[in-house]
Structure 1
Amino acid sequence: MLAAERRDLLIQRLRTDGKLVARDLAAELGLSDDSIRRDLRELAAAGLCHRVYGGAVPASPALADYAARHDVEPASKQQIAAHAAGLIRPGSTVILDGGTTTLAVARALPPDLDGTVITHSPTIASALVEHPRVEVYLLGGRLFKHSAVTCGAAAVEAAGTVSADLFLLGVTGVHPTAGLTTGDPDEAAMKRALSRRAAETYVLASVEKIGAVSRYQVLPLDEVAAVVTDCPPNDTLAALADDGVTVLRAP
């Protein structure tokens, strides 16, 4: 089998199986483990997979910059946003993470909602200007332009001064063994800091994030109340349920 043919096979297996096990592939193809690991390194360098111990899993397409993410699964994000907006009760305090899905949540909130929103996203704060009964607290810090959020030491320190009933968390990967992940270490630290300040954390995961893995862990799955997704039933969701993770299906 030519190298290009092997690459195509590995990409197809990632799509269908959701993972690659290096030892099994080496045995199946009659190659050395080193050959398969080299193939996986090349796929990872091209952004087509994320290497894990013993193999690889799909890389998240949600790692694109903020402007590009608006065009990734917009219908999925709208469905999740509508469901997540229903979790926010009048009079409550909610932390909205940055990202295109949480922006959709802000836009889905009833115009007469009475409550408090804390966010480190200037974009989300701006979207709530026309909600006259929503108090908005914008956490300051270094602006991470890739995701249009504040993060870094100042932002983490600011997060430590607030408390909320609910945190709606955005990630780029939801995986049964890797947990909840994202592509930047400072952003991951900020998300952890915000989660610690809320009574409950709900993960908003559009379909392309289910089964994907990014480089930096945000939280293990046992630290969140539920994952909100519209992803059709698949092996990843079944594995999450087997591990006791609550999955809320957006209609």
Structure 2
Amino acid sequence: MKSTRHEQILRLLAETGQLHVDQAVARLNSSPATVRRDFNQMAEAGLVERIRGGIKLINQVELLPFRAREVKNPNEKLEIARRATTFLSEGDVIFVDGGTTTLQLAHSLPPIKLRIITNSLILAAAIERRMLGQGPWEVFLTGGYLFPRSGLLVGPSAQYSIAQYHANWALLSTGGITETGIFNDNEHVVESERLMIKHADRVAVLADESKFGHHAMRHIASLDQIDYLITNRQTDESLPFENRRGIKLRLIYTS
């Protein structure tokens, strides 16, 4: 229920940019104490900013890199996201995880009908603001436990939700990539990412050059489970791996 209220609050914020306790109480049919608690939790998660008597949207500079001090190469990540969207077709269903590179997809999606399944409240809110209630995209949140200060929905409920869907694409970020596969620093989302890979026809990993040669804490998948690797890294080296259908992993460069 809590994650559903948080989603509703983000949708209300997308309409006005600010939301006060009395407004949320009327719109959500919740008590003032519940609304204040939701506001505080969302502010602690970095989804909104607290103001007197309510909350407001975090400005674009603060939101895009949801952990601004940890984000590297924002321009490169935006170009990688734009390149990834060129593979999408009308009517595609897409899994998108909650990384800083995939967050840039909110500003890169083409004006075609897409269904986006994500575990990221921040991504969902960014897409909602871009649509202003009129865009061609449908967003489905996985549900689950809202992991503190991440904006990510995790845990068994999130995993169960993902397993109910089938997608044309999984567009995934990564904390590191080596010849042994892709990795993530947040162990709480690894199982969700594995399920996205399992339930998608094609998998594209979006990775800027800082991720190469880096082992993060948890292994997500081997390279033979990936179809495309989209990056700004310039190298003549080819990765001698084949994906799960026996097709050589394709490296796509942004320039």
Q: Which category describes the TM-score, using the shorter chain as reference length?
A: 0.5 to 0.7
Contact 1:205 1:227 (8 Å CA) reproduced:
yes
Larger Rg: 1
Report the Cα distance in structure 1 between the residues aligned to 2:76 and 2:70, rounded to whole angstroms: 11
**What are the superposed Cα offsets for residues 159-178 of structure 1, whole Å, 9 maximum, x if unpaired?**
1111110010111001013x
**TM score, norm. by length of structure 2:** 0.66
Q: How does 1:165-176 map onto structure 2 within 5 Å? A: 165-176=168-179
Report the Cα distance in structure 2 between the residues aligned to 1:128 and 1:191, rounded to whole angstroms: 20
- SS, match of residue 128 in structure 1: helix
Report the Cα distance in structure 2 between the residues aligned to 1:217 and 1:71, rounded to whole angstroms: 21
Which region of structure 1 is more displaced relative to structure 2, 223-232 or 143-152? 143-152
Q: Tell me: higher relative CO, structure 1 or 2? Use CA pairs within 8 A at least 6 residues apart.
A: 1
Contact 2:175 2:183 (8 Å CA) reproduced:
yes
Report the Cα distance in structure 1 between the residues aligned to 2:91 and 2:241, rounded to whole angstroms: 33
Q: Which amino acid aligns with 2:108?
A: A
Contact 1:207 1:229 (8 Å CA) reproduced:
yes
Q: Which amino acid aligns with 1:194?
A: M
Contact 1:173 1:211 (8 Å CA) reproduced:
yes
- The percent of aligned pairs where both chains have the same amino acid is 27
Which region of structure 1 is more displaced relative to structure 2, 225-234 or 151-160? 225-234
Q: How does 1:153-192 map onto structure 2 within 5 Å? A: 153-177=156-180, 179-192=181-194
Report the Cα distance in structure 2 between the residues aligned to 1:149 and 1:222, rounded to whole angstroms: 27
Report the Cα distance in structure 1 between the residues aligned to 2:198 and 2:124, rounded to whole angstroms: 21
Report the Cα distance in structure 1 between the residues aligned to 2:67 and 2:186, rounded to whole angstroms: 17
Aligned-residue offset at 1:146: 4.8
Aligned-residue offset at 1:66: 4.1
Equivalent of 2:226, from 224, 227, 233?
Answer: 224
Contact 1:169 1:204 (8 Å CA) reproduced:
yes
User: How many residues were matched structurally?
Assistant: 181
Name structure 1 gaps, 5 residues minimum. Answer: 1-64
Report the Cα distance in structure 1 between the residues aligned to 2:94 and 2:189, rounded to whole angstroms: 19
Aligned-residue offset at 1:229: 0.3
Aligned twin of 2:121: 122
Q: How does 1:196-211 map onto structure 2 within 5 Å? A: 196-211=198-213
- SS, match of residue 83 in structure 2: helix
Contact 2:71 2:100 (8 Å CA) reproduced:
no
Q: Which amino acid aligns with 1:246?
A: R
Asked whether 1:148 is paired with 2:146, we answer no
Report the Cα distance in structure 2 between the residues aligned to 1:157 and 1:200, rounded to whole angstroms: 20
- SS, match of residue 77 in structure 1: helix
Q: Which amino acid aligns with 2:159?
A: V
Contact 1:69 1:100 (8 Å CA) reproduced:
no
Contact 1:120 1:138 (8 Å CA) reproduced:
yes
Q: Which amino acid aligns with 1:121?
A: S
Report the Cα distance in structure 2 between the residues aligned to 1:86 and 1:69, rounded to whole angstroms: 29
**What are the superposed Cα offsets for residues 143-195 of structure 1, whole Å, 9 maximum, x if unpaired?**
22354211111110111111110010111001013x11111322111110111
Q: Which amino acid aligns with 2:235?
A: P
**Alpha carbon RMSD of aligned pairs, Å?**
1.8
Aligned twin of 1:99: 99
**What are the superposed Cα offsets for residues 34-75 of structure 1, whole Å, 9 maximum, x if unpaired?**
xxxxxxxxxxxxxxxxxxxxxxxxxxxxxxx94136641111
Aligned twin of 1:247: 251
